[in-house]
Amino acid sequence: MNFPILSSIIFLPFLGALFIFLSQSKTSSNKSAIYVSLFTSIANFLLSIFLWYSFDRNFTGFQFVEEKNWISGLIKFKLGIDGISILFIVLTTFIAPICILSCVNSVKSRVKEFLITILVLQTFMLGVFCSLDLVIFYLFFEAGLIPMFLIIGIWGGPRRVYSAYKFFLYTLLGSVLMLIAIIAIYWISGTTDLVQILEFKIPKEYQYLLWLAFFSSFAVKLPMWPVHTWLPDAHVEAPTAGSVILASILLKMAGYGFLRFSVGMFPVASEYFTPLVYTLSTIAIIYTSLVALMQEDMKKLIAYSSVAHMGYVTLGIFTFTKQGIEGSIYQMISHGLISAALFLSVGVLYDRTHSRLINSYGGIVNILPKFSLIFMIFTLSALGIPGTSGFVGEFLVLLGIFQKNYFVAILASLGVILAAAYMLWLYKRVIFGKLNNDNIKKIKDINLSEGLVLSLLAIATIVFGFYPEPILDTISVSSDYLIENYKKDLIYHLMVNK
Amino acid sequence: MIENFQILYPEIFLSLSILIILMVGVFIKKSYNLVTNLTFLILLILIAILFNEKGNTLIFSDVFIRDSFSNIIKILILISSLLILYSSQIFIKENNINKFEYPIIFLIAILGMFFMVSANDLILFYLGLELQSLALYILTAIDRDNLRATESGIKFFILSALSSGLLLYGCSLLYGFTGSTNFEIINNELTSENIGAVFAMVFILVGLAFKVSAVPFHMWTPDVFEGSPSSITSFFAIVPKIAGIAVFIRFMQVPFENILIEWQSIVIFLSIASMILGAVAAIGQKNIKRLIAYSSIGHIGYALAGIATGTLSGYSSSILYIAIYAVMNLGIFGCIFLMKKDGKYTEEINDLSGISTKHPLISISFLIILFSLAGIPPLGGFFAKFYVFMSVVESEMYTLAIIGLLTTVISAFYYLKIIKIIYFDEIVKPFDENKNFSISGTIFISCIFLITFFLYPSIFNDLILTAVSK
């Protein structure tokens, strides 16, 4: 196949953004900009569905590989996907039109600029999932900071400046260490091409420091305890679409990075640091769940629950078992859908009453019956009830971790109970009870675009809850291959040592 | 002998044309426009001449060298001077500093730099440096009636004279201990056992560090940047830095090649100190020119990090760094020339407050240039840093690399501050409408360069690398 489908998927949103930017004039209305961006993002979604369809599930290596000379003699612009990245691409292209639709209701000022930043951000995110070269990966990974900084800062809430700074500086600080590690890898192995590095096998003595450098970047981005503090702030202040992108895609870039780079390139160090990851993840699951229980602000509660859910992802990855890794990928996809839906639901309420505080609501079910029903679906899937996609991911991760460490597994299972506690309590306080607040008596139920977006997400969570086969089938071969390589490399390094 | 003069064509042409336009300026009344247009012409012709120069030649008993390295530097100097002069025309006229001497002194400074970067001998080097410095003193104080400008001119003159003295002292020591002023001969004579010559090297490094304003010899920079008119500041921020870094590399590459270990530790110190001070001191600034002064100190630190490696890739990375830095500063000064409210130029960062709603194009240019200065990919500034750190890690100087990258995070803070003021704050008062192409054209060139740099990042690096390695 000669058609550069990956590059077109990556750069199509950018072209859309360019089009809106160039056609900026005082006469053209926001509506046309919304149509253009919606059109490009939906076209992109269809392209990615086509990609998923034509993807060969039984092929172990990378597919649709594109290579171009970039920095002469040093670095190639190399793109390619396997069973792991294809799902994140589809997730990204699925979430993007949803964000654009949601901004119709929530963004009031500078709509065109907002659409441009969203589209540019989409380009960068897709680039992260497609790149097969460390430098290209870093390029896209870091570039995503610029649009996100602007989204939080321009369209955010009252403390937006503080949150935008915190988000930017935290992630930048984590990532610069990764840049040094990438350059060091180049001088150790002579290339930054991922496939060649995997063949080269980085010597054991370098692996520990390099792993820590990558870890510092991914841990901040994921975020893991104790560097998670930027996330609640960023979520609370960001506009709805910003929170959705942040929770459902930006956080997944770190999980993807762990799978693709940390585990693949540094097997010895990954094995060595597994206790560290287990400890931090378990603390994240228990601690942030407890913190989430005590939140007054709905967005903050969901943000903390995200940290807890991402704890399962790291636990799953570092079990190095088939169930664990597939479970963590599944968990990332399903969390992408569920957290997007939860933030959108909070956005629906916020657009009407301009309050995110839990105690300003209560008894919503009487005035917003449709909303209450759909919010319940997401609440239940966030706590991982069987029949929703949240269950499959958590179940597989726990299955994986039980094979490795009983103690961690039991603690992690406690997190499921805590999740049920804070989600149901949230639902109870917001939806049930008496209608005390006069402000909310006049508000209307969800409109067409909101209903469309939320029901799309609801259908996706339920379908993937009952029928996980399409996702598991796609990742199966790639995750097997990952684990197989991991074990081979470990043995190789043990042999080298003797 | 005639062939020797052929090698010297660009310099001869430049000197003669300076004399001619000086006559034009003296004998024709109100000749600023004419002289400036002639200056543009001269610069363009010079660029054309230099593009056709090829090969390495030493002339006048090995005093003057012409090689691809000096050619590249000269072309860089010319292009950036041309754009600076072009974009600052409106500013010069509206601030009544449109005296015909302005472009002439501008050219004299460029002539001095030409000799500096082509010098293969201590004496020619010193003469070039002094010619450049003298022109710069005058340029700083060209706004005679402005108290701040004259003050900064005097300040710059005194401190610069001191550093020239140190430099000259180093040169004479070097002559005393090696017996020659020629770079090649010094290179052959110099070993690390020759303590006196190592001493001389320290003095010369101090002088050079002053010229590129590396910490701890940076004290003049903020005052001079703030005090002199913006059109001069933009020249100061870019052109002497290019020449200074080039001379730095020439010294490291030829006369001091054998005492690498000795100078390396000093340059590492200069680099780390500049990066840290540039990052920390800029945070509290309220005047944008002062902020740029500190940021330029920080950027010189990164360029010096490339030099500190002592490798060819390091040298070429620092030339690339300074070239991209020049492009970014061209853009940012273009934006400063547009900061005008009710016919008055402002320099306070707070005056930028909320302009994104009224001036989307200026704001997006600021955004691109500032993120690029902060070194965020995929903009040009990232690749500048990337190449420098590639060579730094290659030489296994991990501490330098880690400190350098951490200071990028700190310096990102104050670049973000300006973006915050432009985009997140409420608008106070819009700027005057700009109808002039010269400024917006320069900003446009700068932004397009920074955005599209990632398409072919290696073109320039390959060019510079071949030039440096001969």
Which residues neighbour A249 within 8 Å (Cβ) at sequence distance 6 or greater?
A88, A91, A92, A95, A125, A336
Predicted local confidence at residue B73, as pLDDT? 92
pLDDT value of residue B326: 93
- Distance, in Å, from the CA atom of B424 to the CA atom of A343, rounded to the nearest integer, reads 23
| Mean pLDDT in residue range A185-206 | 86
The per-residue pLDDT for A222 is: 87
- Least confident piece of the model among A59-73, B64-78, B414-428: A59-73
The two structure tokens encoding residue A328: 């963590």
Predicted confidence at residue A436, as pLDDT, reads 74
Asked if B376 lies within 8 A of A146 by C-beta distance, the reply is yes
Mean pLDDT (whole number) for A85-101: 90
| Residue A68 contacts B, CB cutoff 8 Å | no
Amino acid B97: pLDDT: 85
CA dist., res. B119 & res. B132, Å (int): 13
Q: Which residues of B touch A187 (CB under 8 A)?
A: 393-394
- Cβ count within 10 A of residue B462: 15
pLDDT at A231 over 80: yes
Per-residue pLDDT, A26: 59
Cα separation, B372 vs B374, in Å, equals 5
Smallest Cα–Cα separation from B216: which of B272, B282, B164, B160? B272
Contact criterion met (CB < 8 Å) for B378 and A153: no
**Residue of B390, B417, B421 for testing the chain A interface, max A β-carbons within 10 Å:** B390
Q: Is A35 touching B (CB cutoff 8 A)?
A: no
Residue A36 has pLDDT above 70, yes or no: yes
Residue B328 has pLDDT above 90, yes or no: yes
B157: left (phi over 0), alpha (psi -120 to 50) or beta: alpha
pLDDT in tens, A340-392: 999 998 888 888 888 888 888 878 888 888 888 888 989 998 888 888 888 88
Residues of B in contact with A183 (CB under 8 A): 386, 389-390, 393, 401
Predicted confidence (pLDDT) at residue B167 exceeds the cutoff of 80: yes
Distances (CA, A) of A400 to A308, A409, A479, B90, B183: 17, 9, 13, 70, 69
Is A168 close to B408, i.e. CB distance below 8 A? no
| pLDDT value at residue A354 | 83
The answer to whether A183 faces chain B, any CB pair under 8 Å, is yes
Chain A residues touching residue B386 (CB < 8 angstroms): 135, 179, 183
pLDDT at A24: 67
The distance of A140 to chain B (nearest Cα, Å) reads: 7
Q: In this structure, are residues A338 and A248 in contact, taking their beta carbons and an 8 Å threshold?
A: no
Residues 426-455 of B with CB under 8 A from A: 454
CA-CA distance, B359 to B354, in Å (whole number)? 9
**CB count, 10 Å around CB of A364?**
23
Determine contact: A139 vs chain B, CB below 8 A. Answer: yes
B419: nearest Cα among B380, B347, B370, B348 = B370
- pLDDT above 90 covers what percent of chain A? 23
CA distance A280 to A287: 10
Confidence of residue A206 (pLDDT cuts 50, 70, 90): confident
Which range of residues forms the domain containing residue A426? 5-497
Q: Which of A346-355, B59-68, B414-423 has the highest mean pLDDT?
A: B414-423
Given this model, what pLDDT does residue A497 score? 65
Provide, as residue numbers in chain B, all residues whose Cβ is less than 8 Å from the Cβ of A158: none
For the CA atoms of chain A, what is the radius of gyration?
22
Instruction: Pick the residue from chain B with its C-alpha nearest to A113.
Output: B360
Element (H, E) at A17: helix A5-22
B119: its two tokens: 């010098």
> What's the mean per-residue pLDDT of chain A?
87
Look-up: residue for tokens 């446009």? B444
What's the mean pLDDT in B216-235? 90
Question: Confidence class of residue A473 from pLDDT cuts 50, 70 and 90?
Answer: confident
% of chain B at pLDDT higher than 90: 41
Mapped to the 3 state alphabet, what secondary structure does B192-211 carry? CCCHHHHHHHHHHHHHHHHH
Q: Is the pLDDT of residue A498 over 60?
A: no
The answer to whether residues B156 and B136 touch, using CB atoms and an 8 Å cutoff, is yes
Distance, in angstroms, between A70 CA and closest chain B CA? Answer: 6
Overall average pLDDT of the A488-493 stretch: 85
Q: Give dist(CA B29, CA A49) in Å, integer.
A: 73
Q: Is B399 on the interface with A (CB under 8 A)?
A: no
Report the number of distinct structural domains present in chain A: 1
User: Residue A146 and residue A240: Cα distance in Å, rounded?
Assistant: 18
**Helix pair angle (B9-27, B32-52), 10° resolution:** 170
How is residue B309 annotated by DSSP?
T
pLDDT band at B470 (very low <50, low <70, confident <90, very high): low
* pLDDT (average), residues A60-65: 84
Cα angle vertex B312, ends B308, B318, to 5°? 55
In which band, very low, low, confident or very high, does the pLDDT at A1 lie, cut at 50, 70 and 90? low
A24: contact with B, CB 8 A cutoff: yes
Q: Is the pLDDT of residue B154 over 80?
A: yes
- Check CB contact of B423 with chain A, cutoff 8 Å: yes
Q: What is the pLDDT of residue A200?
A: 84
Show residues of chain A in contact with B382, CB under 8 Å: 139, 142
Give the least confident one: B72-81, B342-351, B381-390: B342-351
pLDDT band at B351 (very low <50, low <70, confident <90, very high): confident
Distance of CA A325 to the CA centre of its chain: 16
Asked if B458 lies within 8 A of A72 by C-beta distance, the reply is yes
* Tokens 């080298």 found at: A496
Q: Would an 8 Å CB–CB cutoff place B463 in contact with chain A?
A: no
User: What is the DSSP secondary structure assignment for residue B144, as one 8-state letter?
Assistant: T
Contact (CB<8Å) A138/B412:
no
Q: Do B424 and A160 touch (CB under 8 A)?
A: yes
Q: Which residues of B159-176 are buried (b: 16+ CB within 10 A; e: fewer)?
A: bbeebbebbbbbbebbbe
Note whether A180 contacts B420, CB cutoff 8 Å. no
What confidence category does residue B112 fall into, taking pLDDT thresholds of 50, 70 and 90? Answer: very high
Element (H, E) at B345: strand B344-345
Region B218-242: mean pLDDT is: 90
Q: Where are the domains of chain B?
A: 2-469
**Alpha carbons A255 and A220: distance in angstroms, whole number:** 11
B398/A161 Cβ within 8 A: no
Indicate the pLDDT class of residue B111, thresholds 50, 70 and 90. very high
In contact, B109 and B239? CB cutoff 8 Å: yes
Please tell me whether residue B64 adopts helix, strand or coil conformation. strand
